[in-house]
Structures are given as structure tokens and as C-alpha cells.
Amino acid sequence: MDDRLQQYDDKMQKSFDNLLGEFGSIRAGRANPHVLDKLRVDYYGTPTALQQVANISVPEPRMLLIQPWEPNMVREIEKAIQTSDLGINPTNDGKVIRLTFPELTEERRKDLAKDVKKKGENAKVAVRNIRRDANDSLKKMSKSNDVSEDEVKQLEDEVQKLTDKYIAKVDKAVEEKTKEILTV
């Protein structure tokens, strides 16, 4: 690959990685500690990632166990979970917090599948925007006579191949995640 296109490849890869991160936070009927990745807890006035104030384990397939390192954090963690968009009510016994994930209804599974498709479309839009930026910069190179028209055409073809590669990766990831969600 041409060095001039490496930055666009990196940007497309970051868009794809971001999509995979978003998919990790979508729960598919089984407990996954990653659903808590975006959760912030008030730790002495500072919004802090939950993983930095507690140990998170999966004792059963549909349960997360959150053990704060400081007992006074139980209430703060519980409050953060209740105000989040997880839709799960935490239970605590004063020392640990349990999150029990209910079985997903078929309707909820379909909603999650739609959400996955929407996130996939957003990732594809991001990849296409990166393609547009790359082509714009190639046109500027052409106008300033830094490269020949043939070279610009060849680079544009490479950009299109990159775009196609990442669009295919996004489609495959969306398909796999949708299948995972819809599988009972």
C-alpha cells in the first residue's frame, strides 16, 4: 500500500474497531462485563470507570457480580447503574452488587438487531467519509502537480479497494452480531 494512503487505512481501522467496541456493549442474553464499560461512577467527585473502583465477575451465565474495593462505593455504583440505559435493577447486600440479566424477549432481540444494523450503517458512513477525504486530498495533489493524473487514478482505485475491504468487514461483523442476538 502507498504510504500516502496509510493514514486513511488507519482511520478506517479505527472506525471498525469503534464499531466492535459498541457491539461489545450490546448484551445478547448472557452477562458480559463489557456492558458496563461506558459506566462512570462518582468516585470522590470524579467520574471514574467502574472497572477502576470494583472487581466485576460472571458467577453465572446471566449474572454479573460487582465487588467494590471500598464498601462506601456500593451506593455510588448502584446509583450509576440505575441512572444508566442498561435497564437492569441492581440488588445489593451491602458488600456486593448483583446484576441479573433477564432472558431477552423476541421483541427485544429484534430491537437489538435493528440497533446493531444502525451502528453498522453509521460505521459504513464513517468509512465512506474517510474515502471522500482521501479522494479530496488526492485531487488537491493533482491540482498542485505533485503527482500525475495516472498516479492519482491509481491511488483513487486503492482508496476504493480499502473502502470496499472495510465495508465488507463491517457487514460481516453486523451479520455475526445479529445472528448472536437472534439465537435463542
pTM: 0.71
Same domain, 118 and 57: no
Q: What is the pLDDT of residue 24?
A: 76
Same domain, 120 and 144: yes
Same domain, 52 and 111: no
State yes or no: pLDDT of 146 exceeds 80: no
The C-alpha atoms of residue 184 and residue 181 are separated, in whole angstroms, by 8
DSSP codes of every residue in 70-127: STTHHHHHHHHHHHSSS----EE-SS-EEEEPPPPPHHHHHHHHHHHHHHHHHHHHHH
Residues with Cβ within 8 Å of 3's Cβ and at least 6 positions away in sequence, in order, are: none
Cell 440497533: give the residue: 115
Q: What is the pLDDT of residue 1?
A: 64
Percentage of residues in the chain having pLDDT higher than 70: 97
- pLDDT higher at 180 or 15: 15
Q: What is the pLDDT of residue 172?
A: 94
Residue that terminates a domain, selected from 100, 133, 154: 100
Q: Are 96 and 67 in contact (CB under 8 A)?
A: yes
Residue that terminates a domain, selected from 100, 131, 158: 100
Q: What is the pLDDT of residue 101?
A: 79
Q: What is the mean pLDDT of the chain?
A: 86
For residue 38, give its domain range.
Answer: 33-100
Average pLDDT over residues 2-26: 86
Same domain, 111 and 142: yes
Residue that terminates a domain, selected from 55, 78, 100: 100
C-alpha grid cell for residue 25? 456493549
- pLDDT level of residue 29 (50, 70, 90 thresholds): low
CATH number at residue 40: 3.30.1360.40
135-140-141 Cα angle (round to 5)? 95
Same domain, 114 and 172: yes
Average pLDDT over residues 170-174: 93
CA distance to 85, 165, 174, per residue, from 131 (Å)? 33, 12, 21
pLDDT in tens, 86-145: 777 888 888 888 988 777 788 888 888 898 999 999 999 999 999 999 999 888 888 887
Q: What is the pLDDT of residue 20?
A: 87
Same domain, 85 and 149: no
Same domain, 111 and 53: no
